Each structure stands twice: as structure tokens, then as C-alpha cells.
Structure 1
Amino acid sequence: MWDPDAKSFPTRKELPSIPGAPKDAAWFWGKDDNIGRLNLLTPNRVKTAAAEIKTGKMARTDLPLNVPEQPAFGRETFTHQIKVLRDNVAYDDTYSLNTQSGTQWDGFRHAAHASEVFYNGVKGSDILGPDANERDSLHYWSQHGFAGRGVLLDYRSYANEKGIKYDSASSHPISYEDLEAVGKHQGIDIRPAAQGGDIHIGDILFIRGGWTEDYYSRTREENQAIGLRIFGESGDNIQRWAGVKQEPATIDWLHDCYLAAVGGDSPTFELWPTPADHYNRLHGYLLALWGIPLGEMIDLEKVSQLAKKNKRYTFFFTSAPANVVRGVSSHVNGTAIF
């Protein structure tokens, strides 16, 4: 069992094998662990991260619950009803939504590795059915707490300055080389601190690809048509999203930084469609093999504005995942504080 406060951890290439686990699995926090690399958010690291608060300016990172109005991948739309308790005196309201339809943390129950195993050896039968239990449940994240140093890599702003034009609703890849260039542009060496870089163990990484900016620039009809595209691997009218490229350099980097969580502003985080080989999907690596919470459709517009204004791309970040026993995913309920 690893010590969460350790100063260094094995690289992906150095990971010892675990009997019965897929290659590259990093299930070293204990057989009953349910929080993965949130273990890295120790009191010492959270206290250190609080020093990032210099101005007190805050940026919320959750889109309105009805955005996108037409979710992708066939997910349900948000509905909101107001209930009258006593007219003109008291009201309640009720929500109905798919937790994957807007700003979200993908929990460890959301996506398995290609071998059909979830984080720390959890199977589908642990999640649903007569033997269902609380393994990998989202409520463990809430009970542990979720706060630390956030790091923004603002690819969209970098691309705009370099004349790189793309639509975030297209299959535009963001490679490791691109992210390295973004970091240099911002004054950040994106290598892990153990390799001489500026990414610390337990950092929470955000990549802005421009999805939110593009969504608000389109008409309602355009966004609806994009959301209704087919969930498939090939064809003219399939779901396509700009995102992080599934390549060895990126996979090594995401592992070796020992991030507590990663997130982006697109509906997929990674380039979509993914390579034909399911094993290459970043969801499988991040969620199932390494236990890294994965955020999608995170609103990074104000974060980007504050980062540029302060000429600083690190900040304190806090999130409040839903305390739902046996939960799969959650709103981020996040705030970046500069």
C-alpha cells in the first residue's frame, strides 16, 4: 500500500504488475480503496495549495444545469419543475437529469477498462444486480473531500494566438506536443516535478479546448443538431469532439504527473471518436486503471479570464461531488479561487 504523502511514485513504465489486474493498473492504495488518486489530496497538500489564493477572486466552473440544452450521446435533457406548497407563500422545486448531461465528474463506476473491469477490480455485478454493493461509489469522494491546486492549460487561447482555427465539435486532436507548447506559452513546464517540471503531485489539471465558447457562439438549432449526432465509430453524422489525443506520450504524462484529477470543457475530454482499439481510450486508463476522477463540460471561461488577468495559471480549486451512495457521476460543484 502506497503512502499518500510520499514525495515520489513509480512512473508508468516502472509500475509493478498486479496479479489478475490489467497491464498498467495502479491499484496500490489498498484492496478496499474507493477514491484512487484523491488519496493524494492529503492535509499537507491541501494546506500548501491554499497559498495559491492571492486575490480572492472566484470563478465557478459549472455550466447551468440546462446546458447543453440537447446533450450528446443520447442522454436525457434537464427538466425543472416548481412545486407549490402554498401559493404566494412557499415553493419547492424538483430536478430530473442525467448526471452525464452537463458539467460532470465521471466516477469510477462510469467506464471500465477494455477487460470489463472497473477501478480496483470492481465488476459490473458490483454496480447493478442482486450482488450490487458500494464499491467505487461516488459518495466516498464526497466523504474524503476534494480540494487542491488547480492548473489550467488554455489550449484555445494559445491556438487563437497562433492562428490555429478549429471547431470544438470536430475531431481536432490536442497532442502532448501541443500541451507542452501551451505550457511554455504560459510559463509552465508541464513535466512532473520529479522530472524537473512544474506539475506537482496531487495537482488538479484542466484543459480548455473552447467547447463552451463555441457552444454560446452557435444558434440553438446548430447546437441541437450537434447534440443529436449519432453515437458511432464511423460515418458523416457521428459524435465528433476536439480533445486530448490518445498517444503514448500523453498517456505516460497523465500517469507520471500523479494528478489528483483531470478535467476539460468538452463532452469527452479525449479526442472523439477514439482509436478503434478500446484499450487506447483515456477513460479506461484514467478511471479504471489509475483511479483519476475525470471532468467533462467544465466551464473554464472565467478561469481563463482570471488566469490571463493575473498572469498566473495555478489557483486553489475546490469541488463538492454529490454524496450519493452507489452514485456513478456527479456535478462538479467547483470553484477556482485566485
Structure 2
Amino acid sequence: MSNPFPLYKNLPIRHDAPAGSCWGVFDKNGVRDVYGTLNFITPEILVAAKQEIQTGESVVLKYPISHEAPIERSQTFDCLHSLPLDQPSEPCPGRQPLKHTIHARAHGMFCADDEIHVNTQASSQWDGLLHYANQSREEYYNGVKYADAVESRTDQSLGIHAISERGGIAGRGILLDFVRYGERHGIKYDVFASYPITLEQISGMIAEENLDVRQGDILIVRTGLSRAIRASDPRIQGLWDRGAHIGVDPTPELIEWLWDRNLAAIASDAVAFECIPASDKSFMRLHEACLAGFGMSIGELFDLEALAAVAEKNNRWSFFLTVCPLNVQGGVATIANTMAIF
């Protein structure tokens, strides 16, 4: 069956849309789309993704709020972890760290309540479509204006609640393990530097893992940063001050590849998924292309160590994956709430 979606080279289809954007591709019956590339996950593709459940190993989010609490691991199930909500210990400048308060003897009884104040751009997270706009046009995906969505709050259509109301995200996930690939090919790199993972290397990982990339897949790239965070590498202090981060190199060819493979979403253990700065010294090109151009959510700072271990044990790099976002009206992002099942 031929692909019903336009190739990247034929975007945009709307004369008033920015170059390379898919604005209008998913609109139906005059209704402006708010789901972006999640439209690639059709009911038929979701049903087919259940074939990824073969060994019954559930990869769930079960880390504690505080890294000081004990971490219990099931002997039967392995985990695709979120980082604890207070990690990295230094949040990005301008963002507040986690605040967790326990209320003892709540309601005059021997019970407890707690309050959690968390910024959704800390720890493992999914960027929603209100996170990053087209900078020159001050517009989000499908032409939603920054002024309306953020400043006056008169248009909340792209809020994170839309994904929740859609039923969350469920489909086939694929893991590209750059740590393993680098070790096999003698590639030396620093997870605390601006190392660009190239499209050629991505293609190499796909070939070596014997993966076929399908419409609606959720692409996850492991860089090894979560391993360093988990190991309490002292270089995590000052992570943000360096302004240099490992990630996928957001070349025009890479961005074209993401769209033409009809991916539903992308994620990584890296700070921003994309390398900062990019190899050509550009900044946040992929965020603008994916979030504002495609309506493609970006997952960041996932802890992928256990997922990689399960994938390597089974020699299988695809799995069933679900995301249950926070249902916050007009919200910008969500803590991870992500689970994989092999």
C-alpha cells in the first residue's frame, strides 16, 4: 500500500505554513488537528503493536520520588525507569526543583498525606506541543499563536490534556542503543559534551539491531547520560552551565528522515534529544522542526539502563510502549509515566 502522507520534500502543503512543516496534513473536515504525528498511530497499527508483547516482561516506572528512598526491583520484571523527580539534582536555570512534603497524622488520624510540587521540565519528561514554538513566527504546531496559547491563554487546544483525552500514547517502541554501538565500534565520546550522533550512526544501529522502522513507531535513543546520572558522576554538577549536550545531530537530513519514517514520537536519555549545539553550531533546530513543525512530542532524560539490559538479554530492540500523560488543561509538558512491555 502506498504511503498516504506527503514526503518531507513536498512539505508544506499549506501556502501559509513555514517550510518543512506538516501543518494541515492531519486536518479533517475543516477541523484543525491538535495531535500531530500521533496520527501516525492508527487503530490498525496499535493492534499490530500488540505482537511486541512476547516474553511478558513489564518495563514500568517505579522509581521513588526521592533518590534517598530504597529502590526495590522485581525479580520477574525489569524497568524502563524515569529518573527520580529530583534528578538531575540541579534543575535547568529558571526552573524550580522538586518540593515534596509529608503531612503526618493527617486529619487527626494515624495516616499521612503528601504534597508534590514539580516542574514538568525536570527529570524524565515528555515535551508537549506548547513547549517550543516556531521562533521567527511565534507560532506553535498548526499555526496556534504563542500569544493566544501562553500569554492570554485563550487557545489551549494544544495543551498536554489533548493527548490524555486522546487516550494517551500506545504503540511500538524501538530502542537504538548508542552506548552498545559505540563500544562495538570503538567510538569514544563524552556524555557531558556536545557529541553529535549522526544519521549514519542511527542507520548503523538500525541495521545491527535488525530493526525495521514502521509507521507510528516511537523512537528511543540511548546515549548513556542516564548511566552517568545514576552513577552520581560528579560532572552532573554544573550540567546546565556548560551549555554542551550529547544528542542526535539535527541536520536537515535527519529531520527529513524523522518525518519520512512517519515516527509518532521521539525520546532519549539526553537533555534535549538533540545535540546542543549541533554540528553546524545551530541551536534547538530539532525542537522547532518536531514540536512546532510536525506536532511530534519529544521525551527527554529517560533512564534507559534497565530497558537496554532487557533488550540485550532478549536480543530484541522493539517492544510495546505506553505513555499516560498528566491531564492538565492547557499544560505544557508531563512527567514521563511511560511503560514498555516485551
TM-score bracket, normalised by the shorter chain, equals 0.7 to 0.9
Q: Deviations 1:124-151 (Å, cap 9, x if unpaired)?
A: 1122333522121110101112100001
Q: Residues of 2 paired with 1:6 and 1:104: CA distance? A: 35
> 1:252 is matched with which residue: 256, 260, 267?
256
Structure 1 pair 281/73, CA: closer, same or farther in 2 (3 Å)? Answer: farther
Report if aligned partners of 2:11, 2:19 keep a CA contact under 8 Å in 1. no
Aligned-pair Cα RMSD in Å: 1.9
Measured after TM superposition, the shift of residue 69 of structure 1 is: 1.4
Aligned to 1:18: 14
Report if aligned partners of 2:227, 2:303 keep a CA contact under 8 Å in 1. no
Counterpart amino acid of residue 171 in structure 1: S
Measured after TM superposition, the shift of residue 243 of structure 1 is: 0.5
Structure 1 pair 282/130, CA: closer, same or farther in 2 (3 Å)? Answer: closer
**After the TM superposition, which residues 1-338 of structure 1 pair with which residues of structure 2 at under 5 Å, given as runs?**
7-27=3-23, 28-30=25-27, 31-60=31-60, 61=80, 62-84=82-104, 85-86=106-107, 89-115=110-136, 116-130=138-152, 132-145=154-167, 146-188=169-211, 198-219=212-233, 221-227=234-240, 229=241, 238-274=242-278, 275-277=280-282, 281-338=285-342
Structure 1 pair 83/268, CA: closer, same or farther in 2 (3 Å)? Answer: same
Q: List runs of 5+ in structure 1 lacking aligned partners.
A: 189-197, 230-237
- Higher deviation after alignment, 296-305 or 317-326: 296-305
Aligned pair count reads: 314
Q: List runs of 5+ in structure 2 lacking aligned partners.
A: 61-79
Measured after TM superposition, the shift of residue 77 of structure 1 is: 1.1
Q: Residues of 2 paired with 1:134 and 1:117: CA distance? A: 13
Structure 1 pair 183/129, CA: closer, same or farther in 2 (3 Å)? Answer: closer
Measured after TM superposition, the shift of residue 319 of structure 1 is: 0.7
Report if aligned partners of 1:81, 1:95 keep a CA contact under 8 Å in 2. yes
Q: Residues of 1 paired with 2:289 and 2:252: CA distance? A: 12
Measured after TM superposition, the shift of residue 330 of structure 1 is: 0.3
- Higher deviation after alignment, 35-44 or 128-137: 128-137
Report if aligned partners of 2:12, 2:18 keep a CA contact under 8 Å in 1. no
Q: Residues of 1 paired with 2:219 and 2:235: CA distance? A: 30
Q: Residues of 1 paired with 2:196 and 2:93: CA distance? A: 20
2:303 alignment partner, SS class:
coil
Q: Percent identity?
A: 37
Structure 1 pair 87/211, CA: closer, same or farther in 2 (3 Å)? Answer: farther
- Higher deviation after alignment, 152-161 or 55-64: 55-64
Measured after TM superposition, the shift of residue 24 of structure 1 is: 1.2
Q: Deviations 1:31-83 (Å, cap 9, x if unpaired)?
A: 42111111222221111101100011022332211111112344221111111
1:128 alignment partner, SS class:
helix
Counterpart amino acid of residue 112 in structure 1: A
Q: Residues of 1 paired with 2:7 and 2:243: CA distance? A: 33
- TM-score normalized with structure 2 length: 0.87
1:286 alignment partner, SS class:
helix
Measured after TM superposition, the shift of residue 249 of structure 1 is: 2.0
- TM-score normalized with structure 1 length: 0.88
Report if aligned partners of 1:69, 1:78 keep a CA contact under 8 Å in 2. no
Report if aligned partners of 1:167, 1:214 keep a CA contact under 8 Å in 2. no
